[in-house]
């Protein structure tokens, strides 16, 4: 029988303790109150090679989680298993070379933005995680309490907090900085996850938005992917609104991946049968989600009297 322990995860930038268990080399976290769902903590970075062995191990936990979910990571887009399945949408750039991306995959607005960044004097290069870089990060985080129409979870963090939180995964990341007159105005943590990379964090100063630093950071990331022979640059889920439009303009495509749900208890079987395994947010129609997000954005913009960050 496997023993549960507590594991810290980040929810909207805040540490939260959840039940967890280690199965072989993988850390499994269990979330939810009434419905307990188990998944790999680092599912963006790890695959489930032997699902039946994983399922058997999870069934030995007391109390047993109700459902185990996992997905197939890129480039495995075709379903391999016969479990109950839905699809997840990720935003990804298939890497076919920097020139191909620049000429064929991005739109004219993105090309103009990249040229603008260069003309304005933005320099994008690999950076080191030192005190100067951390101080620049802290200044960017504390520029505004609102980003993308909602409270920004890194706002208000001090130097030591930023240093501690962002030093955890440096072993699998490259740092890219966007500089203007030697000032850090944007940065990206480029996280390696096998055959693709993720932007562990990409952000820039609103005060320098006119210089298009985010576009320049994306361009540098594609260049690095080509040199390292990475197959995909993945910007997490596709999403909606201005961020999805930013992704589309910069060459990201919506790619569907199989996500499996395996019931481990009678309750889990009933929940899956009734299609009630998603949170309330998961069953809201997409058009209504967009309306609610716009309302939230307007509320927080008025509340903080600051311009929301959008791409």
C-alpha to C-alpha distance for 140 and 114, rounded to whole angstroms = 21
Q: What is the pLDDT of residue 237?
A: 93
Residue 22 has pLDDT above 60, yes or no: yes
List the strands of the sheet with 196-204, edge to edge. 5-11, 14-23, 26-31, 37-40, 67-71, 253-263, 84-94, 232-237, 196-204, 183-192, 173-180, 123-127
Confidence class for position 2, pLDDT limits 50, 70, 90: confident
Which residue from 89, 57, 51, 52 is spatially nearest to 70, judged by alpha carbons? 51
CB 179 within 8 A of CB 114: no
% helix / strand / coil in the chain, to the nearest 5? Answer: 35, 30, 35
Express each pLDDT in 60-86 by its tens digit: 998 999 999 999 999 999 999 999 999
Express each pLDDT in 34-69 by its tens digit: 999 999 999 999 999 999 999 999 999 989 999 999
Domains of the chain: 5-85+259-277 (no CATH), 92-254 (3.40.630.30)
């Amino acid at each position: 029988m496997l023993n549960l322990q507590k594991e810290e995860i980040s929810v909207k930038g805040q540490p939260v303790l959840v039940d967890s268990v280690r199965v072989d080399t993988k850390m499994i976290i269990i979330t939810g109150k009434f419905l307990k769902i188990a998944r790999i903590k680092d599912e963006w970075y790890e695959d489930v090679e032997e699902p039946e062995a994983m399922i058997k191990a999870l069934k030995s936990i007391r109390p047993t989680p109700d459902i185990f979910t996992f997905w197939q990571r890129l480039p495995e887009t075709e379903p391999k298993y016969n479990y109950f399945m839905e699809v997840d949408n990720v935003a990804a750039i298939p890497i076919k070379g920097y020139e191909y991306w620049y000429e064929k995959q991005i739109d004219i607005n993105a090309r103009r933005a990249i040229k603008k960044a260069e003309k304005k004097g933005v320099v994008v290069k690999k950076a080191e995680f030192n005190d100067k870089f951390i101080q620049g990060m802290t200044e960017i985080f504390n520029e505004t309490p609102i980003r993308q129409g909602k409270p920004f979870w890194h706002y208000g963090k001090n130097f030591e907090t930023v240093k501690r939180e962002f030093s955890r995964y440096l072993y699998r990341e490259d740092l890219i900085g966007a500089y203007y007159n030697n000032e850090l105005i944007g940065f990206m943590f480029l996280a390696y996850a096998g055959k693709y990379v993720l932007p562990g964090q990409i952000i820039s100063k609103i005060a320098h938005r006119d210089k298009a630093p985010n576009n320049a950071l994306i361009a540098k990331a594609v260049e690095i992917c080509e040199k390292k022979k990475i197959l995909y640059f993945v910007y997490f889920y596709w999403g909606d609104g201005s961020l999805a439009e930013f992704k589309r303009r910069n060459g990201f495509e919506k790619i569907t991946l199989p996500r499996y749900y395996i019931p481990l208890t009678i309750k889990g079987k009933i929940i899956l049968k009734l299609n009630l395994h998603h949170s309330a947010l998961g069953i809201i129609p997409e058009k209504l989600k967009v309306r609610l997000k716009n309302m939230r954005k307007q509320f927080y913009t008025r509340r903080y009297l600051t311009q929301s960050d959008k791409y």
